[in-house]
Amino acid sequence: MAFKQLVFSGVQPSGNLHLGNYLGAIKKFVELQSRYDCIYCVVDMHAITVWQDPKELTTAIRDVTAAFIACGIDPKQHIVFNQSQVAEHAELAWVFNCVARLGWLNRMTQFKEKAGKDRENVSVGLYAYPTLMAADILAYRATHVPVGEDQKQHLELSRDIAQKFNNDYAASIAARGFGDAFFPQPEPLIQGPATRVMSLRDGTKKMSKSDASDQSRINLTDDADAIALKVRRAKTDPHPLPSEEKELDARPEADNLVGIYAALKDGTKAEVLKEFGGAQFSTFKNALVDLAVAKLGPIGAEMKRLTQDHAYIDSVLADGSSRAQQLAAETMKAVKDIVGFVRR
């Protein structure tokens, strides 16, 4: 069965948006708008899988929305909304909790990393996070999902859930006229030189909102001075930049900065090394500061302007939520029929 091509992705309002979110996700969201219908979600229900102060959560929801728009997402042409305004996400997630197997969730590395040693004390929501993510995507029967490399495993789980639902309910799906599959197999879009931006302090750790050290990341709202300071202080090794991309494999910090430069420049790592191979880090870092400030400065400024205007941001979310809900409600009606629930 052929599914209508549709892009879905989400970002958590769980702290300051950073360069990893931009290069790994939001920049891709923007680029996909010319080729697909797109739905971009501020996933506030995911955010509360770890404690969020209510006031800060409200602010962060508006900040992520502002970031989407400041980066170039068009909320009129496409859909921008926050997850908690469309109850179908939670509803479908419950059905998926009953489709997904415990063994599948036990393999999720994000849970292991986020729960750490204190596993008995983290929320049930943190564990069930991937089934809600599957529901986010499949409530729209979306076919393409742009994400950073760290979300690849969750995307695979979404595919497994879609497949098992299609298999378990095959007869009911066919009887309802949906052919041999009700849900598509959503395809991850993970491409380019910055699918996993690393911490500026540790080239083996992902750049993350939840990292305690602000020096580990470049925030989208950092001003030119902050960006310059963080890049100049970024951890590196003592050697000049290599000329061959292969040589980056054993040099995580160099690899990271080269990848960031390439992504900001819409180029490849090979192109960056062609220009900077043999150069000292001090030279390269100066060029990186200039490029980062040129690309991120206008975004940060526009974000600051937009976040002042709560009425506008909230109206974007209200409009997006009502359009999203119309689509998700159709899916949910069909799911209820397929599962055998009685509905009004």
Query: So which residues are the catalytic ones?
Result: 114, 206, 209
Among 44, 88, 136, 150, binds ligand ATP (CB under 6 A): 150
Phi first, then psi: give them for residue 12, nearest 5 degrees.
-80, 135
Please identify, among the stretches 14-22, 54-62, 66-74, 250-258, the one whose residues bind ligand ATP according to the rule CB under 6 A: 14-22
Considering only residues 184 through 203, tell me which ones interact with ligand ATP, judged by CB under 6 A. 195-197
| The pair of three-digit structure tokens given for residue 186, joined into one six-digit string | 């959503």
Please identify, among the stretches 29-37, 147-155, 178-186, 285-293, the one whose residues bind ligand ATP according to the rule CB under 6 A: 147-155
How near is the Cβ of 208 to ligand ATP at its closest, in Å? 4
Considering only residues 21 through 40, tell me which ones interact with ligand ATP, judged by CB under 6 A. 21, 24-25
How near is the Cβ of 114 to ligand ATP at its closest, in Å? 7
Long-range CB pairs of 267-276 (<8 Å, 24+ gap) are 267/193, 268/193, 269/193, 269/245, 270/245, 273/241, 273/242, 273/243, 273/244, 273/245, 273/248, 274/243, 276/241
Among 147, 288, 293, 324, binds ligand ATP (CB under 6 A): 147
> For residues 169 and 212, is the Cβ–Cβ distance under 8 A?
no
Residue listed under structure tokens 């050290």: 213
Among 7, 14, 41, 254, binds ligand ATP (CB under 6 A): 14
Phi first, then psi: give them for residue 145, nearest 5 degrees.
-130, 100
How near is the Cβ of 151 to ligand ATP at its closest, in Å? 4
How near is the Cβ of 340 to ligand ATP at its closest, in Å? 35
Between 21 and 331, name the residue whose CB sits nearer to ligand ATP. 21
Q: For residue 148, state whether it binds ligand ATP (rule: CB under 6 A).
A: yes
> For residues 66 and 221, is the Cβ–Cβ distance under 8 A?
no
Q: Which of 129, 89, 95 is nearest to 109 (CA)?
A: 129
> For residues 271 and 262, is the Cβ–Cβ distance under 8 A?
yes
Q: In terms of C-beta density within 10 A (0-12 exposed, 13-18 middle, 19 or more buried), how is residue 101 classed?
A: exposed
Name residue 219's beta-bridge partners.
Answer: 18
How many helices (H) does the chain have, and how many strands (E)?
A: 15, 5
Among 49, 208, 216, 307, binds ligand ATP (CB under 6 A): 208
Among 6, 7, 8, 11, binds ligand ATP (CB under 6 A): 11
Considering only residues 101 through 140, tell me which ones interact with ligand ATP, judged by CB under 6 A. none
How near is the Cβ of 300 to ligand ATP at its closest, in Å? 17
Between 75 and 148, name the residue whose CB sits nearer to ligand ATP. 148
Residues near ligand ATP (CB under 6 A) are: 11-12, 14, 20-21, 24-25, 147-148, 150-151, 195-197, 206-210
